[in-house]
Every structure is written in structure tokens, then in C-alpha cells.
Amino acid sequence: MHALAFDGPRRVRVTDVSKPTLVEPGDVLVRVTTAGIGLVELERYAGPDRWPGVTPGSGCVGVVEAISTAVRSLRLDDVVLVPPAVWAPSPRSSPNRQSPRAVGDEACPKPACPERSQREGVAEGRSFSSPRPGGERGLSRAEPRDLAEGRSFSSPRPAGERVAEGRVRAVLGRDLPGSHAGWIRVPEGDLNLVSVPDPANLEAQAAVVATTYASAARAADAVAHASGAIGLIGCDVAGLAFLAALLARRSNISALFAFDPVPGRLLMARRHGATTIALKPGVDTLAIIKSKLDGTRFDTIVISHAGRAMQDPVRFAGAHARVLLLDPRDIANADDMELPEGLRGEWPGWPTALDIARCLEEISTGTVDLLPLISHVFPMAEAQAAYELASSTGQGAIQVLLKP
């Protein structure tokens, strides 16, 4: 079958690989129909690729083509959403497992993982809580097992999420082959796959849910009852998805500010009710922010894109501000971002099947419209052009979708 592979920095090609087969009793074979280019894929595209040989791609939408013996809730030809992180049998409980690497960070006990943690670095996620050498405060590595379970080590396991006995959390495109391929094998289909309502009309939006929106909605749930001011740093697709989710939750926040260097993104943020401030190089951004905020301090900082260029808004966080990462993978440039003393970041965790079902209900009822976030759709044969566009900031790209 056709699948994507990286040939080096900013080089992606279509290659032929073996079509996956059913291995475990809970496996489901899904023919991919729509997949998004997400943050981790763009990090791999920029290079160096930390997971060579692993097909890229996270969540997707597809059609059930084959079902193993233990699957009960799915039927052939069902249209399903595949989440970006799935429950999978642990190597200890399932000696027949096949994957290009150990499934999930939980398969590697905390004390025995220093080599893997060093090798994968920021991909494992970072927390803001630990000082760097020399007393410099910034983003420090979180323990791999905690992030695999869907949390930063500064926050508890998300409510309602339970680890099933003998299973680990596996991330597509990292621990298991990803969705930028013709077919994908999904372990534990009954636990992981969610049926897509009205797929003829909602498939594209469901792909945005799988790639971006479901994770952003978890962050929106975490701050929906906040009453102070929120500052969103970065209006890429994850940031705009967060704004859409926050608007759907009718939160009582007193003020909402969004920061980004791209005018088109700021325009979309304003449509979601945010007061926007452009971060332009060579401009006294601090003075502009101070004038716009007029003494306001942020009770919540939501970071969709980190890095030195996005540093200035963080300086206006309140003394007890809450800091949320929309995606632990969007931190390749975060080493230079520092938080005020005493603040620490947290990540709401991977979306559960219940989270995804709720997101699909939101788009099916019209509560949320994700179509404006879809800027481009490419056939997989044009993957190089699709990735190049998705990685650019000045060409109007927001959510780029692939059709295998």
C-alpha cells in the first residue's frame, strides 16, 4: 500500500509498504479516507525525524474493512474516527504484538527510561515546573510515563479516564504506524474507535476533530468556568480550535486576548470573540500589549505555539495564573520560553472516546463549525506540496487535510 515517509528535513515522499493485517483479537483494520497534518508531523517534517521508519500521521477518519474476533461494537463499512492516541495491549500481556517500537511510554518503567527520554527529548512533552541548569526557568522534561497516560506530571489523571488492565497508551505516528497511509491497524477497536455521524457531510470536520479539535476541546473544558482574563498564545489551527470550543461552552471569562504574527489567523480569532494583538518582529510588542491590556493580568495562559518570538504575552500572567499547553508535541521551539517565577504548566491530556463523541455531537448539531479551519485538501500523491504549505506561516494555511 502507499504510505508517506520522510527522506530528510523538509522532504516527504510516497512509498510502498506492506498493508497491515489483524494481529490481536481486538484489532480493526481501517481504510483511511481523510487525515490531517498535525503538529507532530510538522516537527518531523522540519527534521531531524526522531522516529525514522514509523509512518507519520495521527488521528484520522476511515472505513472499517476488517474486524478481529473479539470486536463487538463495530461492523464492516462503518465510518469511524481514529483518535491520535489509542489504548493498545502491553507487550507483557500480548506477546503477538507487532509494531515498529515499544507501544506507549508506559511500557517502559520510569527508572529504566533515561536513554529513551534523552533520545526523544521534547517529543515526550515538557513541563514548566522544573528549573533548568544554572537556575534558568523554562520547559523541562516530564517523565515519559505520565505523558503517555495523558497528563503532565503537575496534574492528575483526567476525570473519567481509566487505564484498562494490561493496556498502554500508544501514540499514532510515534509508537504505532500513523494515518498517512492507505490503511491503519487500530488495536482495541471497541475502546478506541468512535462512529462518525452523517459521514457524507461531516467527514472533513471529523478529521479536524481527530487531528486537532478534540485535544483543544479538553483545554476549553478545563477553563470553561474561569471568570478572569485568558491569553491565547498562537492562533494556529490548535489555537483557533480552542477558541471555537471555548465559544461553544459559553464561558464567563471577563476578557479574551489572542496573540499571533499572522494577520489572517488574527482575523479568524476576532471572529471567535478575541481581542487580537499582532506579534511583529522589530516592534515594541511589550508596549502594545501593555496599552491593550490596560492593567489586566491573565488568570489563564493557553499556549498553542511556544518559543522566544511568543514570549512577551507571558510576562502579563498573574501571580497565580494557570498555564495550559494545547498539545505537548508543539514545543520544539519552547526551550527559550520562560514563565514568571512560581508558575507551572499543565497539559489536559489525550482526548478520550467520550471526549471525541461529544466533539462529534457538537459538529453534528451545528454547535461548532470546523469547516472554516480547513484551508486546504490535498491528495496523498501531493504530500510534498501539502506539507510545505502546512509548515508555512504566510500562505494562509490552517488545517491541511490529506486524502489517501
Looking at the domain assignment, is residue 84 inside a domain?
Answer: yes
Q: Are residues 208 and 220 in the same domain?
A: no
10: domain CATH number is: 3.90.180.10
Contacts for 112 with CB less than 8 Å, ≥ 6 apart: none
pLDDT score for 253: 84
Which residue, of 346, 364, 381, is where some domain finishes?
A: 346
Which residue, of 308, 329, 346, is where some domain finishes?
A: 346
Question: 8: which strand partners?
Answer: 11
Q: Are 179 and 333 in contact (CB under 8 A)?
A: no
pLDDT score for 127: 41
Q: Residue 390: which of 373, 366, 371 has the closest Cα?
A: 373
Which residue has 523538509 as its cell numbers? 10
Give the Cα separation of 43 and 114 in Å (integer). 22
Contacts for 123 with CB less than 8 Å, ≥ 6 apart: 40, 43, 50, 51, 174, 329
Q: Are residues 152 and 258 in the same domain?
A: no
Q: Are 386 and 57 in contact (CB under 8 A)?
A: no
Quick one: angle between helices 353-364 and 199-208, nearest 10? 130
Pairing of strands 317-325, 298-303: parallel
Q: Are residues 26 and 161 in the same domain?
A: yes
C-alpha cell at 186: 487500530
Structural domains in the chain (count): 2
Each residue of 233-255: pLDDT tens digit? 999 999 999 999 999 987 778 89
Each residue of 142-169: pLDDT tens digit? 333 333 333 332 333 333 344 456 788 8
Omega before residue 372 within 30° of 0, cis: no
Q: Are 393 and 262 in contact (CB under 8 A)?
A: yes
The H or E element that residue 270 is part of is helix 263-271
Q: Are residues 252 and 301 in the same domain?
A: yes
Q: Are residues 75 and 8 in the same domain?
A: yes
Each residue of 268-323: pLDDT tens digit? 999 999 999 998 877 888 899 999 898 999 999 999 877 666 788 999 999 889 99
Q: Are residues 182 and 224 in the same domain?
A: no
Looking at the domain assignment, is residue 123 inside a domain?
Answer: no
Q: For residue 271, what are the domain limits? A: 215-346
Size (the chain), residues: 404
Q: Are residues 200 and 331 in the same domain?
A: no
- What is residue 87's three-state secondary structure? strand
Q: Are 233 and 306 in contact (CB under 8 A)?
A: yes
Please state, in angstroms and as integers, the Cα–Cα distance from residue 242 to each residue in 145, 189, 192, 220, 224, following that order.
26, 28, 23, 6, 11
In the chain, the N- to C-terminal Cα span, in Å, equals 10
Q: Are residues 372 and 267 in the same domain?
A: no
Q: Are residues 342 and 370 in the same domain?
A: no
Sheet containing 298-303: give its strands across.
Answer: 275-278, 255-260, 229-233, 298-303, 317-325, 345-346
Q: Are residues 283 and 386 in the same domain?
A: no
- What is residue 186's three-state secondary structure? strand
**Rg for the chain (alpha carbons), in Å?**
20
Q: Are residues 33 and 162 in the same domain?
A: yes
pLDDT digits (tens), the chain, 404 positions: 999 999 999 999 999 999 999 999 999 999 999 999 998 899 899 988 889 999 999 999 999 999 999 999 999 999 999 999 999 998 655 545 444 333 333 333 222 232 333 333 323 333 434 333 333 333 333 333 333 333 332 333 333 344 456 788 899 999 999 999 999 999 999 999 999 999 999 999 999 999 999 999 999 999 988 888 999 999 999 999 999 999 998 777 889 999 999 999 999 999 999 999 998 877 888 899 999 898 999 999 999 877 666 788 999 999 889 999 887 654 444 445 677 888 888 888 899 999 999 999 999 999 999 999 999 999 999 999 999 999 987 778 999 999 99
**How many other C-beta atoms are found inside a 10 Å radius of the C-beta of residue 250?**
7
Q: Are 314 and 338 in contact (CB under 8 A)?
A: yes
Q: Are residues 257 and 332 in the same domain?
A: yes
